[in-house]
Structure 1
Amino acid sequence: MLRLIGQRLLQSAVTVAILSFAAYALIGLMPGDPIDLAIAGDPRLSAEDAARLRALHGLDQPLVSRYLAWAAGALQGQFGFSRLFAAPAHEVLGNALLNSLALLLPTTILSALIGVSLGILAARRPRGALDYAVNAIAFAGISMPSFWLGILLIILFAVTLGWLPAGGPPDRPGLAAWLSHLALPGLTLTVLGLASYARQTRAAMIDALRNLYIRTARAKGAPERRVILNHALPNASIPIITVAGLDFATLVSGALIVEAVFAWPGMGKLIYDAILGNDYNLALLALMLTAIVTLLANLLADLAQLAIDPRIRS
């Protein structure tokens, strides 16, 4: 187990290094740079001023040299300043990360709980009325565009009924204000997220309930609840853990489309704005954090699968 963890961590470190260089190169190859944007914002800057600023910030150096300088600073915990927000990049990232966690953490938990419960109920009576209903909900959730569902919820609850705000962060402190602003984007993400859990759980549970050990447990008089939760669900949890690992990674990458629809200042919108605004430091820090958390989430999912099903080790 320790050897596997060590190998995966080494592979993750190499992957992060490659991704960081690729991201830096792609952002660096975008037309224009921060100095060009500064010139566009202040026509009084001359060509000599632009050249001096590029030399001051190292933008006149080759791409590889600039990347190595950035990587050396990042390894020392120096992530630079955000040009768009005129603040340290890690502070700007921290605020957006908290906003994304406030939105995505409860919706991820709710999606998993509701989706797994619906999948179990559907698997108990395949081809029954409840099974068809769960399948319909799952297909609708997978097929429905997030922006379309978000707009429909805004029209219904914000415009027509006037019960909830249409979007944006709360303009006053207090738990009630936060919950009211999180309700619509949270409902959107929950409906869309539970579909994957429901489908994966239903398929895995149907296969698990057909095994001989389930018949044996029932023949011994085990209660149905114990058969489902103690015997079938652990053996059907491999695909569920895979979906959960992917969802865990989105906690720091944000949900760009939903955040854009509801004007929520989370990680998805921050990464989008940073890349389009040529904010090198902020964009790279956000992308590297997303990559690291994604790799760690995959590692944790694999370790959980090994702990549940020892047959995977062979």
Structure 2
Amino acid sequence: MIALIVRRTFELVFLLFGISFLVFSSMHIAPGDPAAMIAGPTATESELTAIRANLGLDDPFLVQYGRYVKGAVQGDFGYSYQTKQPVSEAIAVRFPNTLKLAVASMIIAVIIGIAAGLISALRHNSWLDVSSTTFALAGISIPNFWLGALLILVFAVNLQVLPVGGLSSPFYTWQGIKELILPAITLGTGSAAMIARMTRSSMLEVIRADYVRTARAKGVKERNVIWIHTLKNAMIPVITVIGLNFGFLLGGTIITEKVFAINGIGRLMIDAIAARDFPMVQGSVLLVATLFVVVNLIVDIVYTFIDPRIKYD
């Protein structure tokens, strides 16, 4: 296990170098001039030249990249071109909202997805199975922006039982929970559908295995057959899907944050890309990439607790 963590740590370092280079390159290749966006449409050429020199944008590409990597290694990701705020501070302010939304969405997705998939597998070809499959298909097909707008219209505008948007209250208060309900349902529906489909498929495969048939023949209670022999062995692919979806949620909440006016990492990245704010884009992408790799490492570690036969040499 220690060897796995050390190896993944080295992989993370090289991965982040590669991602930083790709993001840095793509931002410089993309059309647009950060100096022009900072100075405004009435700026003269001399003013633009002075801004480029001040920001180091007139240096060769490799010099700019080397300067950025040197600062990033020391924990300095630069300053935002728009707000002049340190990138690390801006991310620290926005990231908790994204994390709260992702965790709440994942909790909803796991509870609904595993329950629906389990019921569907145990009642194969019944009306419950058909209903679960229909839910999964609808959950994957419905766009987040449409579902979010519909939930706002029903529960915030018409019924007025939940707030329209924003995450201004602490998550452990009743108001904070109410603010999380609609965006978490909007974001978690697609993940719940994928988890339900994977749980159903994996359960149907395991439930037909010889050892499950043998356990039933030996007189093991059906409850123990399902929870100990079947569900535990069916969880490996389900946990993989959960880990991948949670990683995507940490960096893919852009549409939901826009619909519910949540100041998270997704909105921060989109606004920074539109404004050609190089340091903010690079810092945000590196954070999301790091979290994605860490989540996958945690998933690999969880495998060994669920199935002791899995060993990492």
After superposition, residues 1-314 of structure 1 pair within 5 angstroms as: 1-40=1-40, 43=42, 45-170=43-168, 175-309=173-307, 310=309
- Superposition deviation, residue 68 in structure 1: 0.8
Map Cα deviations across residues 17-71 of structure 1 (whole Å, 9 max, x no partner): 1111010111122223331112226x3x442332222222211111111011001
Counterparts of 1:238 and 1:223, CA distance in 2: 23
Map Cα deviations across residues 115-156 of structure 1 (whole Å, 9 max, x no partner): 112211111121012111111111110111111111111221
Q: Which moved more, 1:152-161 or 1:121-130?
A: 152-161
Letter in 2 for 1:190: G
> TM-score with structure 2 length normalisation?
0.92
- Quickly say closer, same or farther: Cα 1:216–1:202, change in 2 above 3 A: same
Map Cα deviations across residues 259-288 of structure 1 (whole Å, 9 max, x no partner): 111111111111111111111111111100
- Superposition deviation, residue 4 in structure 1: 4.0
> TM-score with structure 1 length normalisation?
0.91
Contact 1:81/1:87 (8 A) holds in 2: yes
Q: Which moved more, 1:202-211 or 1:46-55?
A: 46-55
Contact 1:100/1:254 (8 A) holds in 2: no
Q: Which moved more, 1:46-55 or 1:274-283?
A: 46-55
Counterparts of 1:10 and 1:190, CA distance in 2: 32
- Quickly say closer, same or farther: Cα 1:128–1:312, change in 2 above 3 A: farther
- Superposition deviation, residue 254 in structure 1: 4.3
Counterparts of 1:75 and 1:50, CA distance in 2: 30
Counterparts of 2:290 and 2:169, CA distance in 1: 33
- Quickly say closer, same or farther: Cα 1:173–1:147, change in 2 above 3 A: closer
Counterparts of 1:95 and 1:224, CA distance in 2: 50
* Aligned-partner SS, 2:104: helix
* Aligned-partner SS, 2:40: helix
- Length, aligned pairs only: 312
Contact 1:259/1:266 (8 A) holds in 2: yes
Contact 1:170/1:177 (8 A) holds in 2: no
Aligned-residue identity in percent: 37
Q: Which moved more, 1:198-207 or 1:4-13?
A: 4-13
Letter in 1 for 2:14: V
Unpaired stretches in structure 2, ≥5 consecutive residues: none
- Superposition deviation, residue 171 in structure 1: 8.2
Contact 1:252/1:289 (8 A) holds in 2: no
Counterparts of 2:132 and 2:265, CA distance in 1: 32
- Superposition deviation, residue 75 in structure 1: 0.2
Contact 1:21/1:67 (8 A) holds in 2: yes
Contact 2:102/2:246 (8 A) holds in 1: no
Unpaired stretches in structure 1, ≥5 consecutive residues: none
Contact 2:252/2:266 (8 A) holds in 1: yes
* Aligned-partner SS, 1:31: coil
Map Cα deviations across residues 233-252 of structure 1 (whole Å, 9 max, x no partner): 12111211111111231353
Q: Which moved more, 1:205-214 or 1:172-181?
A: 172-181
Counterparts of 1:46 and 1:176, CA distance in 2: 53
Q: Which moved more, 1:120-129 or 1:168-177?
A: 168-177
Letter in 1 for 2:20: S
